[in-house]
Amino acid sequence: MDTLADDEYWMRHALILAQRAWDEGEVPVGAVLVQGGKVIGEGWNRPIGQHDPTAHAEMMALRQGGRVLQNYRLLDTTLYITLEPCIMCAGAMVHSRISRLVYGAADAKTGAAGSLVDILRHPGMNHQVAITSGVLAEACSTLLSDFFRMRRQQQKAARAAGNA
């Protein structure tokens, strides 16, 4: 079993990847897939740049994990994400058979790991994923709120420039 210190260590890794999304102008969400203390997948949110509605951080991490393991089943892995996954990504986690999900900030609007719906612990699901939530939640949610504040300010500045 991973300790809280391990979880925080990997969540900091995911936060660095989230920053990469920010640097590319994407909503800052990062994900890292770990097996036996080793990184086998990394991802950061990039749907805009990739013109791909499925290019969420955790989808990228799962895809890379599959390539590394040469297997579409990602057994005995833990996925760390800075933000609670959406329905699509939670579905992909069930398909991939990850063992455990650790996420930072909850997402009241679209979270599919308990906030809006709970795909991963639905009693009818044939695969159950253990969930730990709220790891470095403050840092994860601050990154997101800082990003959206920055974007609102940019939009306001652009509007002001347009009216000048």
- Residue 63 interacts with Zn ion (CB under 5 A)? no
CA–CA distance, 61 with 136 (Å, rounded to integer) = 20
- The continuous run of DSSP H or E covering 153 comes out as helix 137-163
Does residue 31 touch Zn ion according to CB under 5 A?
no
The verdict on 86 binding Zn ion (CB under 5 A) reads: yes
> According to the binding rule CB under 5 A, does residue 56 interact with Zn ion?
yes
58 is catalytic: yes
Task: Find the binder of Zn ion among 18, 60, 89, 135 (CB under 5 A).
Answer: 89
Q: How far apart are CA 28 and CA 2, in angstroms?
A: 25
| Per-residue contact flags (x/-) with Zn ion for residues 92 to 131, judged by CB under 5 A | ----------------------------------------
Position 46 contacts Zn ion (CB under 5 A) = no
Contacts of 41 (CB under 8 A, 6+ apart): 31, 32, 33, 60, 61, 62, 63, 64, 65, 66, 68
Retrieve residue 145's tokens: 């709120």
Number of residues in contact with Zn ion under rule CB under 5 A: 4
The residues of the shown chain that bind Zn ion, judged by CB under 5 A, are 56, 86, 88-89
Q: Among all residues, which ones are annotated catalytic? A: 58
